[in-house]
Each structure stands twice: as structure tokens, then as C-alpha cells.
Amino acid sequence: RFESLPTRTYTDITMSSDDKQKLMLADWEMDRERYVKLMTALIGEVKHLQNNPPKYVPKEDLAIAHIKALLEPVKDVVKIEHVTYVEGRGNLILTYEGKRGAESPIMSFVGSHLDTVPANPENWTKDPFKLTRDGDKLYGRGTTDCLGHVGMITELFLQLGTHKPALDVTVVAVLIANEENSSALGVGVDKLEADGKLAHLKRGPLFWVDCADSRPCIGTGGVQGWQLTAVGKLFHSGLPHKAINSIEMVMDAVAYVQRRFYEDYPPHDKEREYNFDTPSTMKPTNVLCPEGSLNQIRGEATVQGDIRLTPFYSMEAVKASVEKYVAELNADVSQIERPAERGPCSKYALPDEKLVGKVELKWLGHYAEGIACDITSPGFRAMRAAVQHVTDNGEPFSLTGTLPLVRELQTAGFDVQLVGFGRMSVYHGIDEYCVLGEMANGFKVLCSVIGQLNAAAAADGGGGGAAGAK
């Protein structure tokens, strides 16, 4: 339905030819003071939007109340659907319908979420639960991830409802609950998709607005947590030949598994095409050991970490490979002994005592797959052209950070594209902020995307016609 879209050039689209309302959507500007006022209200709710159960269970309806209040004057033009599966934890679906009603092609902005990660005020130089403006910087938890985008999209629909452009495309936004925690399901976008609330969005590109740095993100990594525990024999450190040193064993086991991983999953040819900064990785991030004294060789030691996988490999295949590595290691633990480095007393078996050390693998949580966006999609072409026009830097990027839910949506048949306008450098960080001018540019980018896809829809058979009030 959007195939008339030019492949690389930005097109300025006139959205209203009425003499009284010569609006060009690409010329719309975000009302910055109104945006700051809404952000002040949203950040003021963040104490109750933090998501890390059981300590923090958000109440996203607190944010939704402010959004609905701002959109109240346009509720007859913008359809507002408040969808709740868990009390106090709603999702908000906004719809600005095209001229052909149910026959209109659809484009959607999805993924901007109403919950946040927790913030410890003792670590911040600003109050994370109050919007602080310092020049063009807006400080507060959620400004970049992701309430800043929520505010921007709310402003967009307020202007759509106010100006009433006659569009050949229907524009939808889905502001979601429970993005920051995957342990509780049936609250946010997963349930919306399962219930068919998003099925109509397959009729056009779905822009997931929860990234950063004002460039199209075309790829993300999958993630799987893991844990390796070496079980040896505890003994006095003055008699190392009587012990199986679990700390040394787990270090050598991790090195063995990593070596095998990188042999089987080297940098993929498509990673360069997608501008990935890093290939797939498997690395330790945490070390655990039972409490003991310095003169004890520990009998058990654990290393935890994660696998970050580019979307060109299967996480199921990787998990099967790692399980095989550990099984083969346990079949002959002597293969990871390194007496030249660790000394002649470092052994992982004590034949006289019929003891053999072992390594136990545990997967931590459920994995998430990465995504490679369709870079031939009209939605991608429109977003790249819009970003280039507004910011002069439309170069797409990929990273092995993980966005939950997007691969599942792509697998279900959605044309998922990724973008965002916060700051990657402060994602989930201390003194999180967004830049007001960059969010204003993001608003213009979204307007441009609507304009381009609307023109394509009209050229593909919708007809133009003068715009008028609905």
C-alpha cells in the first residue's frame, strides 16, 4: 500500500490545501512549553512508575491520567482507548483515522512506555522524581527512557486532533505498560498482541519509538543469561594438592566455553551491512563464592554472565551448543587444566580419592531474540529520509543491546522499525536527561514520516482531495 514512496529522497508533503488552512505537516512544530508542562506532570509520577517487582510495581494509569487530560479537547477527533489487564496498569491506544476509515492504510508508533527503571536519589545530583530544566536539558528518570517519547507522541496527537488534516493513512499510537520487566506477563504489549488489539497494525509499518540518539536503529541483539558453577573440594590452602580449586576451575571452564562459542559463532557477514558495533559475545559479568577465610581453597565458585547474539544466529542453537560444550568438558575435566600457568598442584581431579570436579550450567531467565529490521521497507525508507532531512544524519546503526518484544512482533507479521530521540549515554543511568531540541526534532521527524507515507497511500489509490475538518 505504500510502494509509491521514493526510495531515498525526502518529499515535503502538503497536508491541507484548504485556503483557510494551508498546513504542511512537515512544518508543524512541537509546542515546547506545553511539552515541558506535560513532562513535569509525568516525571512527577515516576516514584510510582518504577518497575522492579516485588519492591517496585508501577501504576501506569497515573501517567495515563495526565495524557488523557491533555487530549480531552480532541477526544471527538482522536479515538482514545484505555486498555487495562491489571488494575492500575493500563495501556493507551490513540487513533487518528484516515479518510477511508477501515480501508485506510495504517502506520503506527508503538513501544513508548509508561514505566521506568528505578532511581536512587542518593546517587543523583538532580531529583530523579522531579523534572529539572537546565537550559535545553530536561533531567529526571524517564526523560530519555521513555516518558520523553510519551510526551512527544501525546503532543503529536494533540496537534493532529487540533489541525484535523485529511489523511489517506490512519495514524495509531500505542503507549504501553510494563516494558521494563519481563517477569510479569499479560500486562502490556504482549497481551495487547495476544488479544488482537494490534492486528490491524500489520497493514503498514510499525515504528517502535524507544531507542536513542535520533537515528534509525536497524538491528538489536538477543540476550540470554547464564551461570557456570564449578564444584571442587574445599581444603586448607597450605595443602593445595588435597583440594580441587573451584575458583581456578570455573575461570578455566569459562575460558573453554568462550573459546568454543567464538569458534562456532564468529562475526557474521550481515553484521557489517547492518552497522553493528560488535559481533555476538559471551562474557562473564558477575562472580559469586561462598564466604570463607583466606586460608581456605573454596569448594564451589560461580560465574554469571550473558550471551549477546546478533539476529543472524539462533539463540536456541547457541544454547544447545553451550550445553554440548559443558557436557564435553565434564567428560574430561583434565582438558582445561593449566599447570604451566596455575602450578603443579592445580588439578581438577583427585584419583586417589575418586573425586572429579564438575561444572554445572544454569540458564538464567528466558531469552529474548534480537531483530534485523527490513531495510527494504517503505517505513524504513521514510524514517531514514525524515531523520536525514531534519537532523542531517540519517545513518542507521545497530547494537547488541536488547529491546524486548520487538522480535516477537516481527515474527507475528509486523513491519517493525526502530527509532528514538533520547540520549543513549544516560539510558537507565544516573542524572538521566533528554534534550528539548532533540525531542522537538523527533516530533518533526514523525510528522515527516506521516507526510511521506500519506503521499504514498494517496498515490497508491486513495486520492488526495482537499483537507477539511472532520
C-alpha to C-alpha distances, 452 to 100, 107, 459, nearest whole angstrom: 18, 11, 11
Asked if 428 contacts 119 with a C-beta cutoff of 8 angstroms, the reply is no
Asked if 46 contacts 121 with a C-beta cutoff of 8 angstroms, the reply is no
Asked if 313 contacts 367 with a C-beta cutoff of 8 angstroms, the reply is no
User: Residue 369, SS3?
Assistant: coil
Instruction: State yes or no: is 115 an active-site residue.
Output: yes
Q: Where does 358-460 have alpha helices with state H?
A: 378-391, 406-411, 436-457
**Residue in the block written with cell 506545553:** 34
C-alpha to C-alpha distances, 228 to 138, 359, 455, nearest whole angstrom: 42, 7, 55
DSSP assignment string, 68-99: HHHHGGGTTTSEEEEEESSTT-EEEEEEE--T
Instruction: State yes or no: is 145 an active-site residue.
Output: no
State how far the Cα of 211 lies from the Cα of 416, in Å rounded to an integer.
13
State how far the Cα of 400 lies from the Cα of 8, in Å rounded to an integer.
27
Identify the burial level of 463 via C-beta atoms within 10 angstroms of its C-beta, where 0-12 means exposed, 13-18 middle and 19 or more buried. Answer: exposed
State how far the Cα of 327 lies from the Cα of 304, in Å rounded to an integer.
18
Q: 239-255 burial by CB neighbour count: b if 16+ within 10 A, else e? A: ebeebbbbbbbbbbbbe
CA dihedral (149, 193, 379, 106) in degrees, to 10, reads: -100
Q: Which of 45, 61, 97, 115 is catalytic?
A: 115
Q: Which of 45, 168, 179, 271 is catalytic?
A: 179
C-alpha cell at 378: 517503505
- Active-site residues, by number, are 115, 179
